[in-house]
Every structure is written in structure tokens, then in C-alpha cells.
Amino acid sequence: MTRPPQPDFLIIGAPKAGTTALHSALAQHPSVFMTQPKEPKFWLCDGAPPPAWCGPGDKHSQQEWLWRAADYARLFAGAADHQVRGESTPFYLWSRGAHRRIAEALPDVKLIAVVRDPIDRAYSNWMHLWSDGLEPESDFETAFSLQDERVAKGWAPFWRYRDLGLYGDQLAHLHDYVDPARVLVLRYRDIVDEPRRAVDRACRFLGIRQGVVGSIPRDNSRNFVEPGWRARTMGPVVRAGARLGQFAPPEVWRRASVPLVAGLSGPGENHRPLLSAEQRERLLPTFTNDITRLCDVTGEDFGDWLTMQSRGSFRQRSSA
């Protein structure tokens, strides 16, 4: 019997927690078929186009959302019969609506959630948008505090620096719809510190052979952009270009933006500064209760997230 063109598993989150690295690693396995594009965002939609998000770059990026069932099905057309099929959209973990839609349409699907220290995740999220020239606020804590205001204005999910890291609430809601036995929770630190073991754990969960993938690619961390004249001069140009990009195919603006984004950081490789203990201390109360809930929901210990130590980017940690 021909299998329906749909995923056998989903990497559901969280953004900036190593989902790209895990997606790329699993794509190396001969028994796995991963979609391109990586993030179709189909289960965020409900048979209709995405909302008219209006944050910097949102209208351009939402052109890449797949909301038609036929378009989504075509993503899996190239899979061989022996391969398990997957896609990775890290916003599925955050989206309550996606939980329901996935449970109703894919009753046997397996879900992989990758979680990261929520403060480090939020900082990486801000850094991603800042270094791409889309985030207009040069101070992370100020940008963090603007979430509710931005949501009220209709900015897209990626701007939710706080809410995307509330994994305890997210997994508790997900478990109301999906049997926890079909949900694997991986830690970002394991993908960085013990990549082969992390990939093998995912393979074991998916029921495919372990020990096949020997390495895991570096995630998509950005070169740090120093606040200053480059950001003040080039940032508005990038944001204006992203607004105009909504009127062209997505690949056109992506190609055009490469030299502009490169110009933001200037020559050389710049590592982003670590968050200070004082910054973490100010932000930690936002997540403390949810970290406790995450421990209860998963039965695992995430107490190391309650410290004042910032752990740095994938690039910094993997080279340490």
C-alpha cells in the first residue's frame, strides 16, 4: 500500500535551540528523508494563509509559509519507501493550534522537541534578528521587554523572545493532545557536547539504525554585529529592503540581502559577548516557574538553567 505523502516525525522546536543542526544531521542518514525547505510551517496554518504579520521582514518571510495541503504533500514526494520522513518547524512547540492540528491529522506522528536554556535561547533569538539587520533595538534586555507591545502590533512568532522559551507550559499543553511516549525531549547542550549520542538517541526514538551519522553540522549562529555606525547606517537599509522583498520571490531578496547583512558585521569573525551574571539575574524570574514545570512534565532536571552562567553560542561552546 502506498503511504500517504506526510511526515512520520516532526522536529517541533524550539527556535535557536539546535533544530537546524539536528535536521541536517538526520538528513545524512540513509533511512531518513528530510524536507526542503526545512521549515514549511504548514501546521501553524489552518487551511488559510498566515496572518498579515507586520514586523521587520515578516511580510517577506511569510511568503515561504506553505499553507495549501497539496503543496505540503509534494514536499514528501521524493522519499523512498524505506525512509522515515520528517520536517522541522521549531514554532510547532510554541503553537497551541499546531498541537491540535498535528494530533488530529497525524495520530501516529513522532515529535522531537529540542530545548535550550530559555535565557540563552532568547539572547540567541535576538542576536539572530539583530545580526540580520531586522531587529531595530540594539539592547537585548530592552528588546526582550518589548514583546507584548510587538505582539499587539502583529509581529510574527519569531519576535516572542520570552514566550518561545516557556517549554514547561508548551509541553504540558502538547501532552493533552499527543501521547508523551511519542514525544522526545532533547537538550541543546547534548547536541553541542555529545552530538553522536544525541543523534543516536533521536534515531533510536525513530526506530532506525544508530551509529550511522558521525557528525553534526554547526548550527546557523550569526556573526556578531557591534552596535555603532554600521548598524545605524545599514540596519535601516536592510529593513527597507525586507519590506520591498514582499513584492518579489523570496529567493530574490535573500540573494540581494547577502552583501548588506555581511556589511553589518564588517570584516572578520566576531563572537557575540556572553550575557553577564547581572543580566541573567534580572531575566531569570521570568522563567523560574516554567523551568520548575518543565522538570515536573518531563521528569528531568533542568536546574542548571537557574544559574547565573551564560553558556554562549553553538560556535563558542563547540570550540571550547
Which has the higher per-residue pLDDT, 241 or 220?
241
DSSP symbol at 34: E
Looking at residue 122, its pLDDT comes to 97
Highest mean pLDDT: which range of 36-40, 227-231, 316-320: 36-40
Of the listed ranges 86-100, 144-158, 171-185, 239-253, the least confidently predicted one is: 239-253
Looking at residue 283, its pLDDT comes to 97
Looking at residue 251, its pLDDT comes to 73
**DSSP-assigned letters across all residues of 116-182:** --HHHHHHHHHHHHHHTT------HHHHHHTHHHHHHHT--GGG-TTGGG-HHHHHHHHHTTS-GGG
In the chain, DSSP assigns E strands to 9-13, 32-34, 84-88, 110-115, 183-187
- Going from the C-alpha of 67 to that of each of 33, 51, 56, 246, the distances in angstroms are 21, 11, 22, 17
Task: Evaluate if residue 262 carries a pLDDT over 80.
Answer: no
Looking at residue 268, its pLDDT comes to 55
Task: Evaluate if residue 318 carries a pLDDT over 60.
Answer: no
Looking at residue 219, its pLDDT comes to 62
Q: Strand pairing partners for 183? A: 111
Task: Evaluate if residue 8 carries a pLDDT over 80.
Answer: yes
Instruction: Report pLDDT digits (tens) over 97-143.
Output: 999 999 999 999 999 999 999 999 999 999 999 988 899 999 999 99
Using pLDDT thresholds of 50, 70 and 90, give the confidence band for residue 301: very high
Q: How far is CA 79 from the centre of its chain?
A: 24
DSSP symbol at 112: E
| Beta-carbon contacts of residue 248 (< 8 Å; ≥ 6 apart) | none
pTM across the whole model: 0.90
- Do the Cβ atoms of 11 and 98 come closer than 8 Å? no
Looking at residue 319, its pLDDT comes to 45
Distance CA 304, CA 308 (A): 9
Mean pLDDT of 146-172: 97
Looking at residue 222, its pLDDT comes to 66
Using pLDDT thresholds of 50, 70 and 90, give the confidence band for residue 265: low
Looking at residue 320, its pLDDT comes to 43
| Beta-carbon contacts of residue 268 (< 8 Å; ≥ 6 apart) | none
Looking at residue 311, its pLDDT comes to 76
Instruction: Report pLDDT digits (tens) over 59-100.
Output: 888 888 999 999 999 999 999 999 999 999 999 999 999 999
Looking at residue 258, its pLDDT comes to 73
